[in-house]
Amino acid sequence: MKRFSEQNHYEILEIPRSATAAEIERAFRMAEAIYSEGSLAGYSVFGDGEAAAIRERVETAYRVLTHPESRSAYDAMLGGRESAPATESSGEPVEVIAATEDAADPASRPQRSAQPRDDLELEEEEPGEFDGGRLRRSRIHRGIEIEDIAGWTKINPTYLRFIEEDRYTDLPAPVYVRGFVTAYAEYVGLDAKQVAASYMESFENGTRRGRRGRFLGGR
């Protein structure tokens, strides 16, 4: 059981050493929320100046781990002894949110055995269609806000909302939507390929229906 001052950057952010860019971002945003001034989860626990000091450590961890070069150097400094996520048996901090299974960079993809537990396990739905409603539920189950995704992906939050509301005809060209949905899924921690394929199928059908609807409506 380590004190804050003894924790490394991964432990500070509660992520495994194999964390993807999306996982680091999510963990950072979570930590930012926890240690912000007046945070509901923390204000009654932190002593004077304590939250600010931790925030500084969180920001340093984020800065180091989000740049491939500084992360490599830091990993080299930590050495190989902690190359597996310190979660399974050691009682060390475990990751807060489910890992992304389809990371863009295969080298940074978490190992199956390193999957953190998803405590909520609220997504009971069987494999199948990923429509906007299901994406929204998955996001909320992980405590992620639209603005979190928009901040990382740089996608206009209005488009993210349109995706969740299945407002296909208000969305831009399919190539953009595929990119948006892939980035959304990566951030939320879903299988991006599966989600994009499923959503785009609905999108194609939806836009076709939408066009026909407008035509029949005399527009």
Partner 1 sequence: MKGPVPSPTAAARVIPVGGGKGGVGKSFVTANLAASLAQQGKRVVAIDGDLEGANLHTCLGVPKPRCSLADFVAHRRDDLEDLLLETPFPNLRLIAATHGNLGTPQPGHARRVRMVRAMRSLDADFVLLDLGAGTHSAVMDYFMVGDDGLVVISPEPTSVENAYSFLRAAFYRRLRLAMASHAMQEIVVLAMDQHNERGIRTPLDLLHEIEASDPEEGKRFVETMKAFRPRIVINEAYTAEDVKLGFAIQSVARKFFGIECDYIGYVNHDEKARQSVRDRRPLVESYPESDAAIYLNRIAKKIAAEPIRVG
Which residues contribute to the site for partner 1 (CB under 8 A)? 1, 3-4, 14, 30-31, 33-34, 39-45, 47, 91, 93, 96-97, 119-122, 124, 139-145
Contact 62, 26 (CB under 8 A): no
Q: State the nearest-atom distance from the C-beta of 211 to partner 1, in Å.
A: 33
Distance, in Å, from the CA atom of 97 to the CA atom of 57, rounded to the nearest integer, reads 20
Q: State the nearest-atom distance from the C-beta of 136 to partner 1, in Å.
A: 9
SS3 219: coil
For residues 78 and 94, which CB has a smaller minimum distance to partner 1 in the complex?
94
Q: State the nearest-atom distance from the C-beta of 29 to partner 1, in Å.
A: 9
Contact 82, 74 (CB under 8 A): no
Residues in contact with 64: Cβ distance below 8 Å, sequence separation at least 6, in sequence order: 9, 70, 71, 74
For tokens 């509301």, what's the residue? Answer: 165
For residues 43 and 176, which CB has a smaller minimum distance to partner 1 in the complex?
43
For residues 65 and 206, which CB has a smaller minimum distance to partner 1 in the complex?
65
| Burial group, residue 215, by CB count within 10 angstroms (0-12, 13-18, 19+) | exposed
Q: State the nearest-atom distance from the C-beta of 10 to partner 1, in Å.
A: 13
Q: State the nearest-atom distance from the C-beta of 185 to partner 1, in Å.
A: 16
Tokens of 53: 């000091």
Q: State the nearest-atom distance from the C-beta of 187 to partner 1, in Å.
A: 13
| Burial group, residue 12, by CB count within 10 angstroms (0-12, 13-18, 19+) | buried
Q: Chain centroid to CA 146: how far?
A: 11
Distance, in Å, from the CA atom of 62 to the CA atom of 10, rounded to the nearest integer, reads 9
For residues 159 and 168, which CB has a smaller minimum distance to partner 1 in the complex?
159
For residues 71 and 136, which CB has a smaller minimum distance to partner 1 in the complex?
136
For residues 135 and 168, which CB has a smaller minimum distance to partner 1 in the complex?
135
